Chains A and B, each alone.
Chain A
Amino acid sequence: MTKMKLKDKIVHYFKNHSKGSIVFTAVCYLLLIGCALIVLVPSLWAVATSVKYETEVLDANVTLFPHRVTFENYASILANRNVPILLWFWNSIKIAVVYVVLYLLIASLAAFAFSRLRFKGREFLFWLGMSSMMIPGVINMIPNYIIIDKLHLVDNMFSMILPGLGGVFGVFMLRQFMRGIPLAYDEAAKIDGASDFRIYFHIILPLCLPVLVTLAIFSFQGNWNDYVWPLIVTNSAETRTLTAGLATFSGSYAHQYGKQMAGAVLSALPILIVFLAGQKYFIKGISIGGIKG
């Protein structure tokens, strides 16, 4: 197909579709715009409110756009040592990234063994893991706190990394994908004298890239959004993650919505930048690997 100008495209479209289908498409676009507004309007209000003076926010005739723009809400939040939002953000990123890297490594190593190597107890171990996936995590919550405390990891970033490394889901997902890779690859490599680790690292792992991306996204989000666990294993404000740290935020700025929204925007902005930067890979990753789960 030759490249068409937008105008030609539109003309082409109207020529090739019946009246009914054009109306239907138009309705769909309108509905989509409606849905988009539901997402957009609250976000706009948050940004707009964050740059308003508190008196204006509480005004009965409040409008979306601020009469006078101020950044004092941001300044006062950033100066408040009890709510170190940027530090929380840094903690969250640090913990989530270390967790995802370790988790992908551990889960893919195990999935490789479960899908391609033969060893005694393989079926039993896998079966054990699968069955434990069905057991709700809430049962482990309190005992895990005790284990973390006994390991002297309370208030340590590893308390929010290590427990998740025993997760079964990633192993399950990766094993399923690896089973789809022909064994002929391994055999060819073995004849060339490659060790199992080499086969894992140089052949299987690169082929698993789409699932690894998906799994990375899911585990990153799971860790990032974990709310209750960081609350349990941290005592001081400095070691908290963003999700847990902000739990008491509205309370400390009761009815000061300008400052509350400044906090919300500050907490959303960094992850939004990360998301926008990696959006292409992100959506592709979910689309390719997600369906296999």
Chain B
Amino acid sequence: MKEKGEKTVRAAKPLRNHGKTFLRTVQPYLFVAPFVFFFVLFGLVPLVMGVVISFTKWDYASPMEWYGLKNYGLLFGVVGSGQVAKDFWNAVLHTLLFAVIETPLLIIVPLGVALLVTKCRWVKKFSMGFFYFPTILSITTVCILFNFLLDTNSGVINHYLRTAIPWITQMPYAWISIFLLSTWWGVGGNMILYVAGIANVPQELLEAATLDGANAVQRFFHITLPCMKRTMLYTIIMTTIGSFNMLGQSQVLTAGGPNYMTRTAMMVIYDTAFGGINNFGRACAMSIVFGVIMFAFTFAGYRLQIADDKEGIA
């Protein structure tokens, strides 16, 4: 499309002035048009739709019915028996639990591995690829693998520990299993970013600190870590969002069990919207309430990131 536009300019050389001023004003819009089109269609329109649908009772098949604030009433336990509210908030609580524990795990463990990888420089390149390997696997592949590893009778973990722990079917093991799986799977991604971040720390600073008598721990906390501010901020935001959106682990490994104890917010929303009856109105209300909670947790991080971006202009 754009290539064509360029050729017409050349052909119309006699009319250059006219054509060029017109093109100068229109062209920028042509550059952003594809992005804006998809952004509006799949980013803004759905947002408005979601809010509208959340005020309705709608199963997608029959006509939409205005429901007012009833969906929200159900979610906050003001209307109805409170069962919907209980299910929803339990799931939100589970998600918060997961995010609060898993996010630090996926920051600290990769940072540790990244330090080891950097220190062992004879095998640095090889180990970067090696520890990234689990991350390239699909979450479902990893769940199938862990489903076997964690099996009570024929699983490898019980085999090595010489125990018969019901890893998947009992609490609190089910959650421990999910943390184990998620960490095994997720370490690689942040690790690579941290290795890159550590490599970018100015060597002069570290040398100067060593001369001033700073030990390795002091150098790490006072030089390496502050120099990695951007990387840290980015990984913290992304990992938090990822943890909040957790669904695969709960659905494939534990199927939300035992006794709905590993059901996450995403799972409840998915089941409400697509599990048998399409309760779109209620599911949209859930998405919005859960979205607001997520927003509250990530907002500060984003603000820092955008402030950082603005600093770049000055």
Residues of A within 8 A of B (CB): 25, 28-29, 31-32, 35-36, 38-39, 41-43, 45-46, 49, 57-58, 62, 105-107, 109-110, 112-114, 117-119, 122, 125, 129-130, 132-147, 162-166, 168, 171-172, 176, 179, 195-198, 200, 221, 224-225, 227-228, 231-232, 242-247, 249-250, 255, 257, 260-261, 263-264, 267-268, 271-272, 275-276, 279, 283, 286-288, 290-293
Q: Which of A38, A147, A221 contacts B42 (CB 8 A)?
A: A147
Residue of A whose beta carbon sits closest to that of B192: A286
Is B287 among interface residues, defined by CB-CB distance under 8 A? yes
Known contacts A166-B41, A250-B143, A264-B145: does B156 contact A42 (CB below 8 Å)? yes
Task: Tell me, in angstroms, the Cα distance from A261 to B144 when the chains sit together.
Answer: 7
Least CB distance, B305 to chain A, in whole angstroms: 9
In the complex, which residues of chain B have a beta carbon less than 8 angstroms from the beta carbon of A276?
A: 129
25 examples of A-B residue contacts, CB within 8 angstroms: A28-B120, A32-B127, A36-B127, A39-B131, A42-B149, A46-B145, A46-B148, A62-B159, A106-B35, A109-B31, A110-B35, A130-B306, A142-B280, A142-B283, A143-B284, A146-B49, A224-B138, A225-B138, A250-B252, A267-B140, A267-B141, A271-B137, A287-B196, A290-B193, A292-B230
Task: Tell me, in angstroms, the Cα distance from A165 to B40 when the chains sit together.
Answer: 11
Least CB distance, A239 to chain B, in whole angstroms: 16
In the complex, which residues of chain A have a beta carbon less than 8 angstroms from the beta carbon of B127?
A: 32, 36
Task: Tell me, in angstroms, the Cα distance from A130 to B295 when the chains sit together.
Answer: 14
Least CB distance, A201 to chain B, in whole angstroms: 8
State the majority secondary structure of interface residues on A.
Answer: helix
Q: Are A32 and B120 in contact (CB under 8 A)?
A: yes
Q: Are A272 and B193 in contact (CB under 8 A)?
A: no
In the complex, which residues of chain B have a beta carbon less than 8 angstroms from the beta carbon of A118?
A: 28
Task: Tell me, in angstroms, the Cα distance from A210 to B125 when the chains sit together.
Answer: 18
Q: Are A163 and B42 in contact (CB under 8 A)?
A: yes
In the complex, which residues of chain A have a beta carbon less than 8 angstroms from the beta carbon of B140?
A: 227, 242-247, 249, 267
Residue of B whose beta carbon sits closest to that of A175: B309
In the complex, which residues of chain A have a beta carbon less than 8 angstroms from the beta carbon of B200?
A: 291
Known contacts A106-B38, A110-B31, A291-B196: does B287 contact A138 (CB below 8 Å)? yes
Interface centre among B28, B40, B49, B302 (most CB of A within 10 A): B28
Interface residue tally for chain B (C-beta within 8 Å): 104
Task: Tell me, in angstroms, the Cα distance from A135 to B140 when the chains sit together.
Answer: 27
Q: Which of B28, B195, B302 contacts A133 (CB 8 A)?
A: B302
Task: Tell me, in angstroms, the Cα distance from A58 to B222 when the chains sit together.
Answer: 53
Known contacts A32-B117, A106-B38: does B269 contact A141 (CB below 8 Å)? yes
Q: Are A147 and B123 in contact (CB under 8 A)?
A: no
Q: Which of B27, B245, B312 contacts A137 (CB 8 A)?
A: B245
Task: Tell me, in angstroms, the Cα distance from A253 to B221 when the chains sit together.
Answer: 49
Task: Tell me, in angstroms, the Cα distance from A104 to B280 when the chains sit together.
Answer: 33
Within 8 A of A (CB), among B198-214: 199-200
In the complex, which residues of chain B have a beta carbon less than 8 angstroms from the beta carbon of A260?
A: 144, 147-148
Task: Tell me, in angstroms, the Cα distance from A36 to B153 when the chains sit together.
Answer: 26
Residue of B whose beta carbon sits closest to that of A127: B306
Q: Are A291 and B35 in contact (CB under 8 A)?
A: no
In the complex, which residues of chain B have a beta carbon less than 8 angstroms from the beta carbon of A140?
A: 42-43, 46-47, 50
State the majority secondary structure of interface residues on B.
Answer: helix
Q: Are B25 and A197 in contact (CB under 8 A)?
A: no
Is B134 among interface residues, defined by CB-CB distance under 8 A? yes
Least CB distance, A61 to chain B, in whole angstroms: 9
Within 8 A of A (CB), among B241-289: 241, 244-245, 247-248, 251-252, 265-266, 269-270, 273-274, 280, 283-284, 287-288
Task: Tell me, in angstroms, the Cα distance from A264 to B149 when the chains sit together.
Answer: 12
Q: Are A28 and B119 in contact (CB under 8 A)?
A: yes
Least CB distance, A87 to chain B, in whole angstroms: 15
In the complex, which residues of chain B have a beta carbon less than 8 angstroms from the beta carbon of A279?
A: 129
Is B76 among interface residues, defined by CB-CB distance under 8 A? no
Task: Tell me, in angstroms, the Cα distance from A49 to B280 when the chains sit together.
Answer: 43
Known contacts A107-B35, A286-B196: does B50 contact A143 (CB below 8 Å)? yes
Interface centre among B44, B47, B133, B274 (most CB of A within 10 A): B133
Q: Which of B42, B45, B144 contacts A165 (CB 8 A)?
A: B42
Q: Are B290 and A227 in contact (CB under 8 A)?
A: no
Q: Which of B43, B50, B156, B283 contacts A166 (CB 8 A)?
A: B43
Task: Tell me, in angstroms, the Cα distance from A129 to B43 when the chains sit together.
Answer: 9
Q: Are A197 and B39 in contact (CB under 8 A)?
A: no
Task: Tell me, in angstroms, the Cα distance from A38 to B116 when the chains sit together.
Answer: 15
Q: Are A166 and B40 in contact (CB under 8 A)?
A: yes
Known contacts A39-B134, A227-B247: does B195 contact A287 (CB below 8 Å)? yes
The 9 closest A-B pairs by CB, nearest first: A143-B46, A110-B35, A119-B28, A113-B31, A166-B38, A143-B49, A246-B140, A287-B196, A166-B39
Q: Are B39 and A290 in contact (CB under 8 A)?
A: no
Residue of B whose beta carbon sits closest to that of A139: B291
In the complex, which residues of chain B have a beta carbon less than 8 angstroms from the beta carbon of A287?
A: 192, 195-196, 199
Least CB distance, B17 to chain A, in whole angstroms: 14
Task: Tell me, in angstroms, the Cα distance from A85 to B47 when the chains sit together.
Answer: 35
In the complex, which residues of chain B have a beta carbon less than 8 angstroms from the beta carbon of A29?
A: 120, 123
Least CB distance, A7 to chain B, in whole angstroms: 14
Is B32 among interface residues, defined by CB-CB distance under 8 A? yes
Q: Which of A117, A176, A243, A245 contacts B28 (CB 8 A)?
A: A117
Interface centre among A43, A57, A134, A143 (most CB of B within 10 A): A143
One of B2-10, B80-88, B99-107 contacting the partner = B2-10
